[in-house]
C-alpha cells in the first residue's frame, strides 16, 4: 500500500459513490464510462469519494463531446467565442488575475526523502502532502462535474509513449488537454489492462495562491494540482508528467525527458538533419522550432517536430531518437507576428484557445508585437478598457495560444512516427546580454554536459517572480527536474555509455547586446545562418577554431550573404572576453555549492579544464 492509499483509507472509511457518468440528457451517451480498466475505475471511484462531484463525466475526446463542452464553456463565460469568420474555431479565456504563470514556489517533489528531490526542488514528505491535498480536495467538487480525461503522451504504439488520466473540475483544462494531448480511446488502447498510467488530480478550489500546490509523487506516478487553472500548473500532461515525472521515469528506465524543441533541417538536396534544443521558458523555443530560413537559403526548410519537450532514447542504429510527447502548442503570444514567426501565426489561425491576450469587442484579439496596430474598443487581459496611453500592457506578457500541431504548415512528416527522429545535435542556449558568444561546440559529450549544466539565463514572465535576473538553469530543467538535479546530471553522463553514436553538443546565445544595449545578432530567421554551421559540424563538413570554450566558427564561416549586417558585429557576438569568463566561472559557484553533495566529479574536472584553458 503506498502513501496515497494509506491517507485515502484514513479519510474515506467506507463511503461509496456512484461514478457512472451522465450528461443530463438521457438519450445522449456523452460522459458515460468508457473503459473496463479496473485500475482506472477503482482510482476514479476513490478520487470521486474524496472530491464528491455531483457527476463524473468520462471524456472520449470526440468531436460531439468537444462541441458540447465548448458550448457549455461559452454559456458559463469560461470561453468567449471570437469572431468565427476571422478566427474559426477560436475562443478567448481570461484567467484569474492572480493565476497567470507557473508558480515554482508552489511546486513540490514529494519523494520519501528530501535528498531524492534535491536542493533545487521544494520537497514535502509524501504522506504529509497527500494528507494536506486530499484534505483540500475533500468535497471540493460538490455541485460540480469531475471530468475524467484519458490521454496519451507520444505517438500511439511508441515504446516511449505514456498514458495519463487527469481528473479535473475545469472545462478549460479538458478543452486544452484535447488540443495538447492525444485524448480519449487512443489512450485506453495504449494502456490495455495495465495499471501503469499516471494518476493526475486537478481541483481548482477557489483559485487562490494561498491554497495553490502542484505536487508530484514520482514513486507513485501521481500528480495533484490544486488552486490554479493556469496551463503550466494544470495541463498535467505537459510540465508535470512529460518533464517532472518523465525525468524520474527516464532515469529509472534508461531514457531522457528534456525541456527541448526538436526540429529537422532539410537542405535543397533533400538531406534532413534533426537537432534538439534546450532553452529556458520564453527564450524563443517556439520561434526556433518554426524558423523560416531567409531568402539566401532558398530550397532549405526547417520542419517542426516539437517546440517544448523531447523524450529521447537510443534507437536501433545507436543514435539518440526523439519524440515530441505533445500534440499541441502552448506558446507565448506577445511578440508573435508574421514577421517573427509566420508558422506560429498560421498555427493559431483556427481551433485555438487564447488566454490573457487583449480582447476587442466584436470578437477580435490583439497583443503587443502583433503585425497590425491595436483595434478600436480594446480591453486588456484583465477586461479593462485599454488604449495606447494606458501605460500598461494590453496582453499579459505570458499570454498564451493553445493550438493543435496539425495547424503548423511546417509540421514534420515524422512527427507521429513511433520510433521518433534521429538527433544529430543538441543545442543549449540561454538569454544572456553579455559574456556568452553567439555559438560554440563542446569538445565532447561530457564537456557538453558541463556546458548544459552551467547554462544561465535571464528570468522571463513564464514563471511568477522577478524578470531579467541571471539564474543558473541546468539544461533549462531547473523548474522541471523531478528528482535530485545532481543525480539528473549524473544520468546525462551515464547516457553517454548507452548511446553508441551520441549527438554533438552546442551552445548558442541569440541575445548578446553591445555597449549601447542593442542586440548584436539579428535573430529570428537569420538564426538559420548559425544553424547551418551547426548542421555542417554535425555532418563533419566544416572546420572550426579551437578556443577555450570549445570549437567555434571564425566570423567568415557564418554565411551573411543577403543580410544588411556588419561582419564586425558578428565578430563582437563571437568574442570571448577572458576577464568576463573568469567572473562567469565564479558565478557558477552558486550552482556548484548548491549541488555539491551530488554533483558528478566530471563536472568539477570540466570546470578546472576550462579554467586552465582560459
Q: Which residues are catalytic?
A: 283
Q: Choose the contact partner of 199 out of Mn ion, ligand OXD, none; CB within 5 to 8 A by kind.
A: none
| Cβ distance to ligand OXD smaller for residue 396 or 532 | 396
What's the closest the beta carbon of residue 485 comes to ligand OXD, in angstroms?
Answer: 17
What's the closest the beta carbon of residue 427 comes to ligand OXD, in angstroms?
Answer: 16
- Of all helices (H) and strands (E), which one includes residue 584? helix 578-587
- Of all helices (H) and strands (E), which one includes residue 177? helix 171-180
| Cβ distance to ligand OXD smaller for residue 188 or 288 | 288
| Cβ distance to ligand OXD smaller for residue 281 or 356 | 281
CA 129-131-136 angle, to 5 degrees, is 95
**From the CA atom positions of the chain, what is the Rg in Å?**
24
Residue 23 backbone zone (phi > 0: left; psi -120 to 50: alpha; other: beta): alpha
Residues that bind ligand OXD (CB under 6 A): 102, 232, 281, 308, 330, 462
Cα torsion 301, 303, 309, 312: sign: negative
What's the closest the beta carbon of residue 483 comes to ligand OXD, in angstroms?
Answer: 19
CB-based contact 32:55 (threshold 8 Å): no
| Cβ distance to Mn ion smaller for residue 31 or 306 | 306
Q: Choose the contact partner of 300 out of Mn ion, ligand OXD, none; CB within 5 to 8 A by kind.
A: none
What's the closest the beta carbon of residue 479 comes to ligand OXD, in angstroms?
Answer: 7
| Cβ distance to ligand OXD smaller for residue 102 or 512 | 102
End-to-end, the C-alpha distance of the chain in Å comes to 55
Q: Angle, to 10 degrees, between the axis of helix 485-498 and the axis of helix 246-253? A: 40
Number of C-beta neighbours around residue 311 at 10 A: 29
How far is it, in rounded angstroms, from Cα 289 to Cα 262? 7
| Cβ distance to Mn ion smaller for residue 281 or 484 | 281
Nearest CA among 514, 420, 415, 496 for reference residue 452: 496
| Cβ distance to ligand OXD smaller for residue 281 or 324 | 281
CB-based contact 278:329 (threshold 8 Å): no
Q: Choose the contact partner of 232 out of ligand OXD, Mn ion, none; CB within 5 to 8 A by kind.
A: ligand OXD
| Cβ distance to ligand OXD smaller for residue 459 or 509 | 459
How far is it, in rounded angstroms, from Cα 603 to Cα 454? 9
Calculate the CA dihedral of residues 124, 129, 133, 138 and round it to 10 degrees: -170
Q: Choose the contact partner of 489 out of ligand OXD, Mn ion, none; CB within 5 to 8 A by kind.
A: none
Q: Choose the contact partner of 102 out of ligand OXD, Mn ion, none; CB within 5 to 8 A by kind.
A: ligand OXD
Q: Choose the contact partner of 521 out of ligand OXD, Mn ion, none; CB within 5 to 8 A by kind.
A: none
Q: Choose the contact partner of 330 out of Mn ion, ligand OXD, none; CB within 5 to 8 A by kind.
A: ligand OXD
Residue 609 has, within 13 A of its CA and on its CB side, a CA count of 16
What's the closest the beta carbon of residue 289 comes to Mn ion, in angstroms?
Answer: 11
Cα torsion 46, 157, 154, 537: sign: positive
Nearest CA among 246, 266, 199 for reference residue 531: 266
Q: How far is residue 471 CA from its own chain's centroid?
A: 18
The CA–CA distances, whole Å, from 588 to 12, 43, 104, 146, 584 equal 49, 45, 21, 46, 6
| Cβ distance to Mn ion smaller for residue 228 or 281 | 281
- Take residue 282 and report the three cell numbers written for it: 520564453
Residues that bind Mn ion (CB under 5 A): 281, 308
How far is it, in rounded angstroms, from Cα 48 to Cα 3? 18
How far is it, in rounded angstroms, from Cα 281 to Cα 260? 10
What's the closest the beta carbon of residue 102 comes to ligand OXD, in angstroms?
Answer: 5
DSSP per position, 47-64: HHHHH--SEEEE----HH
How far is it, in rounded angstroms, from Cα 184 to Cα 69? 15
What's the closest the beta carbon of residue 477 comes to ligand OXD, in angstroms?
Answer: 10
How far is it, in rounded angstroms, from Cα 326 to Cα 345? 19
| Cβ distance to ligand OXD smaller for residue 330 or 401 | 330
Coil, helix or strand at residue 525: helix
Residue of minimal Cβ distance to ligand OXD: 281
Residue of minimal Cβ distance to Mn ion: 308
Q: Choose the contact partner of 314 out of Mn ion, ligand OXD, none; CB within 5 to 8 A by kind.
A: none
What's the closest the beta carbon of residue 588 comes to Mn ion, in angstroms?
Answer: 23
DSSP per position, 356-382: SSEEETTTEEE-TT-SSPPPSSEE-TT
What's the closest the beta carbon of residue 280 comes to ligand OXD, in angstroms?
Answer: 7
How far is it, in rounded angstroms, from Cα 536 to Cα 528? 12
| Cβ distance to Mn ion smaller for residue 30 or 462 | 462
User: Regarding beta strands 504-508 and 439-441, do their DSSP bridges make them parallel or antiparallel, or are they unpaired?
Assistant: antiparallel
What's the closest the beta carbon of residue 344 comes to ligand OXD, in angstroms?
Answer: 13
How far is it, in rounded angstroms, from Cα 218 to Cα 231? 20
Q: Choose the contact partner of 416 out of ligand OXD, Mn ion, none; CB within 5 to 8 A by kind.
A: none
What's the closest the beta carbon of residue 58 comes to ligand OXD, in angstroms?
Answer: 28
Residue 485 has, within 13 A of its CA and on its CB side, a CA count of 26
Amino acid at each position: 500500500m503506498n502513501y496515497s492509499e494509506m491517507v485515502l483509507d484514513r479519510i474515506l472509511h467506507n463511503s461509496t459513490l456512484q461514478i457512472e457518468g451522465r450528461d443530463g440528457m438521457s438519450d445522449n451517451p456523452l460522459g458515460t464510462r468508457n473503459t473496463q480498466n479496473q485500475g482506472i475505475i477503482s482510482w476514479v471511484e476513490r478520487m470521486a469519494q474524496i472530491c464528491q462531484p455531483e457527476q463524473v463525466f468520462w471524456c472520449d475526446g470526440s468531436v460531439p463531446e468537444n462541441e458540447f463542452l465548448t458550448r457549455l464553456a461559452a454559456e458559463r463565460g469560461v470561453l468567449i467565442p471570437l469572431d468565427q469568420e476571422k478566427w474559426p474555431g477560436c475562443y478567448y479565456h481570461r484567467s484569474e488575475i492572480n493565476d497567470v504563470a507557473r508558480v515554482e514556489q508552489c511546486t513540490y517533489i514529494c519523494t520519501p526523502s528530501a535528498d531524492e528531490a534535491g536542493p533545487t526542488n521544494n520537497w514535502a514528505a509524501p504522506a504529509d502532502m497527500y494528507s494536506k491535498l486530499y484534505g483540500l480536495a475533500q468535497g471540493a467538487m460538490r455541485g460540480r462535474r469531475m471530468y475524467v480525461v484519458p490521454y496519451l503522451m507520444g505517438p500511439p504504439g511508441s515504446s516511449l509513449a505514456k498514458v495519463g488520466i487527469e481528473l479535473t473540475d475545469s472545462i478549460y483544462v479538458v478543452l486544452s488537454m484535447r488540443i495538447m494531448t492525444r485524448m480519449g480511446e487512443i489512450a485506453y488502447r495504449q494502456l490495455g489492462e495495465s495499471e501503469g498510467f499516471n494518476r493526475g488530480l486537478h481541483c481548482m478550489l477557489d483559485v487562490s495562491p494561498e491554497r495553490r500546490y502542484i505536487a508530484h509523487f514520482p514513486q507513485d506516478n501521481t500528480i495533484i494540482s490544486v488552486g490554479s487553472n493556469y496551463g503550466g500548473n494544470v495541463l498535467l500532461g505537459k510540465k508535470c508528467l512529460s518533464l517532472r515525472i518523465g525525468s524520474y521515469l527516464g532515469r529509472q528506465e534508461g531514457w531522457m525527458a528534456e525541456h527541448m524543441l526538436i526540429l529537422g533541417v532539410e537542405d535543397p538536396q533533400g538531406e534532413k538533419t534533426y537537432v534538439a534544443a534546450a532553452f529556458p521558458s520564453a527564450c524563443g523555443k517556439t520561434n526556433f522550432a518554426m524558423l523560416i530560413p531567409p531568402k539566401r537559403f532558398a530550397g532549405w526548410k526547417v520542419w517542426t517536430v516539437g517546440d517544448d519537450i523531447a523524450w529521447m532514447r537510443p534507437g536501433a542504429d545507436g543514435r539518440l531518437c526523439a519524440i515530441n510527447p505533445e500534440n499541441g502548442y502552448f506558446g507565448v503570444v506577445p511578440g508573435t507576428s508574421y514577421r517573427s514567426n509566420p508558422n506560429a501565426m498560421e498555427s493559431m489561425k483556427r481551433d485555438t484557445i487564447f488566454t490573457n491576450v487583449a480582447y476587442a469587442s466584436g470578437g477580435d484579439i490583439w497583443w503587443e508585437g502583433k503585425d497590425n496596430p491595436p483595434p478600436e474598443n480594446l480591453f486588456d487581459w484583465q477586461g479593462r478598457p485599454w488604449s495606447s496611453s494606458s501605460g500598461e500592457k494590453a496582453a499579459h506578457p505570458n499570454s498564451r495560444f493553445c493550438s493543435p500541431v496539425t495547424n503548423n504548415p511546417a509540421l514534420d512528416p515524422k512527427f507521429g512516427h513511433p520510433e521518433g527522429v534521429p538527433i544529430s545535435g543538441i543545442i543549449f542556449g540561454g538569454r544572456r546580454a553579455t559574456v556568452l558568444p553567439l555559438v560554440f561546440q563542446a569538445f565532447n559529450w561530457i564537456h557538453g554536459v558541463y556546458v548544459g549544466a552551467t547554462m544561465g539565463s535571464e528570468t522571463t514572465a513564464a514563471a511568477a517572480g522577478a524578470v531579467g535576473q541571471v539564474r543558473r538553469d541546468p539544461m533549462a530543467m531547473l523548474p522541471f527536474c523531478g528528482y535530485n538535479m545532481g543525480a539528473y546530471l549524473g544520468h546525462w553522463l551515464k547516457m553517454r555509455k548507452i548511446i553508441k553514436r551520441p549527438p554533438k553538443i552546442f551552445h548558442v546565445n541569440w541575445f548578446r547586446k553591445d555597449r549601447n544595449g542593442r542586440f548584436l545578432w539579428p535573430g529570428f530567421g537569420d538564426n538559420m545562418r548559425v544553424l547551418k554551421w551547426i548542421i555542417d559540424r554535425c555532418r563533419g563538413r566544416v572546420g572550426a577554431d579551437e578556443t577555450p570554450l570549445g570549437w567555434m566558427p571564425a566570423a567568415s564561416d557564418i554565411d551573411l550573404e543577403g543580410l544588411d549586417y556588419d561582419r564586425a558585429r558578428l565578430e563582437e557576438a563571437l568574442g570571448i572576453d577572458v576577464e568576463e569568463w573568469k567572473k562567469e566561472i565564479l558565478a557558477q559557484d552558486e550552482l556548484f555549492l548548491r549541488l555539491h553533495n551530488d554533483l558528478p566529479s566530471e563536472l568539477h574536472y570540466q570546470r578546472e579544464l576550462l579554467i586552465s584553458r582560459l
